[in-house]
Amino acid sequence: MGFFIFDHQQKQMTKTLQIFRSIEAAKVIAPEINYNDYIPLDLSVSNLELQNHKLETAEDYEIFIQNHLDKNQGKIAFGGYIETRNLYQRSTVFKNETTDERNIHIGLDLWINEAATVHAALAGKIHSFQNNTALGDYGPTIILEHKIEGVVFHTLYGHLSEASLLDKKVGDGIAKGEQIATLGLPPINGDYAPHLHFQIIIDLEEKSGDYPGVCSEKKLEFYKNNCPNPNLLLKIN
């Protein structure tokens, strides 16, 4: 019985990934900015350049990221999927005495130092939203639910402005490309340099308004399957 369940899950995942690959590219932030102006950003523990900078505050990261954009003549920095990072160590949300350290990022970050507009990757409906207020958390967050060819999945948009949650109702329909929010600024956005955390989630595990965006090494395989690479939808070059 276990084999047949596993086989079904594998076939379902294959179908889901095929759907993602077939969908036309979606921009989820500042759609007027061309993908040619997107610059990769490496915030992993293996980036030696980070060791030469004392990056502790949101302002430190804002300056570092803006310098990176200016140096490379870019407007949006992106990256971070399955990236092991040190920047979560300041918060007990990710590291405490009772749980394994969570330091592997399982979404895609899009960094721009302004309150840019945020847009739905696909048509769907509002599943849930809330303000996750802990230091280093998402801050204001919106989760959309989508259904394509019978496959249900979700997209999460984190680090938004407080105003983004006003007048939202669970179940409201959303069109692809519709503006759903604006980026939040520190400290409202979890106290980070301004950026959008964008994540695909297959099974929300009955969660609402929140879902892990960072995981431990021990649970990485589960989250890699449950949260596929967001660039399957965005298709950034």
Q: What is the Cα–Cα distance from 21 to 14, expressed in whole angstroms?
A: 11
Q: Give me Rg for the CA atoms of the chain.
A: 17
Give residues with Cβ within 8 angstroms of 84, minimum separation 6: 44, 45, 46, 103, 104, 105
Q: What is the Cα–Cα distance from 237 to 235, expressed in whole angstroms?
A: 6
Q: In what order do the strands lie in the sheet with 38-40?
A: 38-40, 76-79, 108-111, 195-201, 151-158, 139-148, 124-132, 173-174
pLDDT for 57 equals: 87
Q: What is the largest CA-CA distance in the chain?
A: 56
pLDDT, averaged in runs of 10, over the chain (237 residues): 55 87 94 97 87 83 94 96 77 59 90 95 98 92 96 97 97 98 95 95 96 93 95 94
Cβ atoms of 164 and 182 within 8 Å: the answer is yes
Cβ atoms of 91 and 134 within 8 Å: the answer is yes
Among the listed residues 196, 176, 170, the one whose alpha carbon sits nearest the alpha carbon of residue 185: 196
Q: What is the Cα–Cα distance from 228 to 102, expressed in whole angstroms?
A: 18
57: exposed, middle or buried (C-beta count within 10 Å: 0-12, 13-18, 19+)?
Answer: middle
pLDDT for 68 equals: 94
Q: What is the Cα–Cα distance from 120 to 86, expressed in whole angstroms?
A: 29
pLDDT for 3 equals: 46
What global pTM score does this model have?
0.91
pLDDT for 8 equals: 61
Q: Which CATH superfamily is domain 2-234 in?
A: Glucose Permease (Domain IIA) (2.70.70.10)
Angle at alpha carbon of residue 202, lines to 197 and 205, rounded to 5°: 95
Q: What is the Cα–Cα distance from 120 to 233, expressed in whole angstroms?
A: 11
